[in-house]
Structure 1
Amino acid sequence: MEVIPVHDVNPLRRTPWVTYALIAANVVVFLSMPSAARTLAGQTNLAELCQLQAFVERWGAVPVELLRDQVPALVPTGGTGVGPQGPGCLIGPPAYHKSPPLSVLTSMFLHSSWAHLLGNMLFLAIFGNNVEDRLGRIRFLLFYLVCGYAAAYGFALTSPGATEPLIGASGAIAGVLGAYIVIYPKARVWGLIPILFFIPLRVPAWLMLGMWFILQAFYATGYGTAGAGSVAYAAHVIGFVLGALLGLTARRRRPHPRTF
């Protein structure tokens, strides 16, 4: 069960253009992915799934590639074929040059489904604007990227043999949540809290985000969810901790007065 934020009661001093731009970029990239527009209705066929697999393999961050700084000799090509076990996706030598460090950046804008995308963007929209407001636009963008890189490489170190591509903005957004909880711990957040049922409550940020972090840490152990293997919960934990540490420096800094 996950906590679902709906709205925070935390006024802004300036328009969070970077947060808006990140959300827009994530949506645009998702819509450009193979079969993205059809995944909501579950109408993808084998050819589209193979194209999507090849796309994610090329632009996603693969832990084993990050640690070895090299791409495997055989990768999904995006084509289909028939083998001993029936129809499937073809593999072959990569027809492109891939930079593993750069793949971390591109992976932050890829998502596996509408639910994955919308869930991440909900958290970014609610909590990113205030963190951007405190850090400033350029610092916030750098902060976001640093947390995303730390989460990806940190996960690779915890799972050095993993060959499944990492995709999604979750690691970077976890950093945003970590910064928010230390900068605005008493800010009130409306959310749906899983207590028997999802109950709408207004709670302090430290409680909601603290519950979120505890769940991620619990899931990272491999317990508590049957889908733990498909989600990089350890990346969420690493991003959150780094974001909280970096957020402490912003908390000590007095915000600039609002200008009109």
Structure 2
Amino acid sequence: MFVPLHDGVPLRFLRVPYVTYGLISLCIATRIAIHFWTNEATEVAVLAGFGTIPSVLFGEARLPDELLKAPAWLTLMTGIVLHASFAHLFGNMLFLWVFGDNVEDAMGHARFLAFFVLCGMAGAMLHALMNPESEQPLVGASGAISGVIASYLILYPRVRVWGLAFKWIPLRIPAMFALGAWILFQLLSALFDQQGAVGWWAHLGGLGAGAALTPLMVRRGLPLFGRPA
């Protein structure tokens, strides 16, 4: 397990990655609001009403009429900013903080926001397709951030990233190794952790969407795969 801390890649086109900072702020504010202004029962209701529940998305189940909720299709987006705990939030926001600014720099503000949302939706949809009868809400920005990771790997595979291996060993290794190992872990977990509480397929859906969308959404002429300009 590798926890990224810093990459040191300077921004080339933007002065401030407003969208990255805005997304982090929105996710943090949402988690704080849920924590301090709901009790246990209402928190569960919020996650159920605005997270992606596969069986509800496909019309096999229905939430109570009196529950405040988003339309089923819209939960593919609303679930992105919800997190089940502060630990869940911290892990996602750390990855977004380290890698999001450079991907936003490569795409521009508007395209990066669209990219982030599309990757999150793709992740939630693949999770639902792989678990169509599930009644558990999928929440979190993991699918969207997985798309960011895929994009960063395409843009900066040779950049050396500072991080902690196994959560405590400091290392500085190329992104292709650090993030490649992370991707392999997601794939193996999706295949073998059938009863896990983590949305592994959402991660893979976001990765796939990120890899497919990156060549279409980066600035014209920007080199990919670490090639010289």
Runs (4+) of structure 1 exceeding 4 A deviation are none
Q: 1 CA distance for matches of 2:145 and 2:165?
A: 20
How far residue 131 of structure 1 moved from its aligned partner, in angstroms, is: 0.3
Residue of structure 1 aligned with 2:202, choices 228, 232, 235: 235
Matched, 1:48 2:20: no
Unpaired segments of 5 or more residues in structure 2? 224-229
How far residue 48 of structure 1 moved from its aligned partner, in angstroms, is: 2.4
Q: 1:111 aligns to what SS in structure 2? A: coil
Unpaired segments of 5 or more residues in structure 1? 39-46, 75-92
How far residue 228 of structure 1 moved from its aligned partner, in angstroms, is: 5.4
Contact 1:71 1:100 in 2 (8 A): no
Matched, 1:160 2:127: no
More helix, by proportion: 2
Q: Provide the alpha-carbon RMSD of the alignment.
A: 2.2
Q: 2 CA distance for matches of 1:136 and 1:145?
A: 14
Contact 2:107 2:217 in 1 (8 A): yes
Shift in CA distance, 163/150, structure 1 to aligned 2, threshold 3 Å: same
Residue of structure 1 aligned with 2:77, choices 95, 105, 113: 105
Alignment of 1:1-260 (within 5 A): 2-13=1-12, 14=14, 15-33=16-34, 36-37=35-36, 48-68=39-59, 72=62, 74=64, 93-96=65-68, 98-194=70-166, 198-223=168-193, 229-250=196-217, 253-255=220-222
Shift in CA distance, 133/228, structure 1 to aligned 2, threshold 3 Å: farther
Contact 1:66 1:153 in 2 (8 A): no
Q: What's the TM-score once normalised by structure 1's chain length?
A: 0.79
Contact 1:188 1:203 in 2 (8 A): yes
Q: 1:221 aligns to what SS in structure 2? A: helix
Structure (1 or 2) with the larger CA radius of gyration: 1
How far residue 237 of structure 1 moved from its aligned partner, in angstroms, is: 1.0
Deviation per CA, 1:221-251: give whole Å up to 9, x if none: 134xxx9521101110111122012223456
Instruction: Tell me: higher relative CO, structure 1 or 2? Use CA pairs within 8 A at least 6 residues apart.
Output: 2
